[in-house]
Amino acid sequence: MAPSRAGAGAVLPVVVALLLGVVAAAAATGGARKMASHGEGANLKASPGAPAAGGSADQFRGKARLPSFAAPRRYELFLRPDLVACTFSGSVSISVAVSAPTRFLVLNALDLSVNRASIRFQALEPTEVVFFKDDGVLVLGFAKQLPLGEGLLKMDFNGTLNDQMRGFYRSKYLYKGKERNMAVTQFESVDARRCFPCWDEPAFKAKFKLTLEVPSELVALSNMPVANATFAGPLKTVRYQESPRMSTYLVAIVVGLFEYVEGMTTKGTRVRVYTQIGKSNQGKFALDVGVKSLNLYKDYFATPYPLPKLDMVAIPDFAPGAMENYGLVTYREVALLFDDKSSSASSKQNIAITVAHELAHQWFGNLVTMEWWTHLWLNEGFATWMSHLAVDSFFPQWNIWAQFLDRTTTALRLDSLEASHPIEVEIHHASEVDQIFDAISYDKGASVIRMLQSYLGAERFQKAMASYMKKYAYSNAKTEDLWAVLEKETGESVKDLMTTWTKQKGYPVINAKIKGNDIEIEQAQFLLDRSSGSGMWIVPITSGCGAYDTQKKLLKLKRDKLVIGSQCGDRKKGGNFWTKLNINGTGFYRVKYDDELAAALQNALETKKLSLMDKIGIMDDLYALSIARQQTFASLLHLLYGYRGEADYSVLSHINTVTTSIAKISADATPALAGDVKQLLIKILLSPAEKLGWDPKKGESHLDVMLRPLLLTALVQLGHGRTINEGVRRFNIFTRDRGTSLLPPDTRKGRIPRCDAEC
Catalytic positions: 358
Contacts of 89 (CB under 8 A, 6+ apart): 79, 80, 82, 156, 157, 158
CA within 13 Å, CB half, 323: 27
Please give the backbone phi and psi of residue 743, each rounded to the nearest 5 degrees, phi first.
-130, 80
600-605 long-range contacts, CB within 8 A, separation 24+: 602/638, 602/639, 602/642, 603/578, 604/578, 604/580, 605/639, 605/642, 605/643
CA within 13 Å, CB half, 750: 29
> What CA–CA distances, in Å, run from 256 to 81, 83, 317, 332?
11, 9, 13, 15
d(CA 541, CA 509): 12
Please give the backbone phi and psi of residue 429, each rounded to the nearest 5 degrees, phi first.
-160, 145
d(CA 309, CA 273): 11
Question: How many CB atoms sit inside 10 A of residue 333's CB?
Answer: 17
d(CA 689, CA 747): 12
d(CA 529, CA 429): 32
SS3 assignment, position 744: coil
Peptide bond into 189 cis (omega under 30): yes
Q: Sheet containing 579-581: which strands, arranged edge to edge?
A: 547-556, 539-545, 579-581
**Residue set of the binding site:** 357, 361, 380
Residue 217 corresponds to which amino acid?
E
CA 362 from chain centre, in angstroms, equals 13
Helix axes 345-360, 376-394, angle to 10 degrees: 130
Biggest CA–CA distance in the chain, Å, is 100
Question: How many CB atoms sit inside 10 A of residue 144's CB?
Answer: 8
Is there a contact between 34 and 139 (Cβ–Cβ < 8 Å)?
A: no
Residue 186 corresponds to which amino acid?
Q
Nearest by Cα to 394 from 536, 295, 314: 295
d(CA 710, CA 687): 13
Contacts of 509 (CB under 8 A, 6+ apart): 523, 524, 525, 526, 589, 590, 591, 592, 625, 630
Angle at 416 between CA 412 and CA 419, to 5 degrees: 125
Nearest by Cα to 141 from 35, 67, 37, 50: 35
Residue 700 corresponds to which amino acid?
E
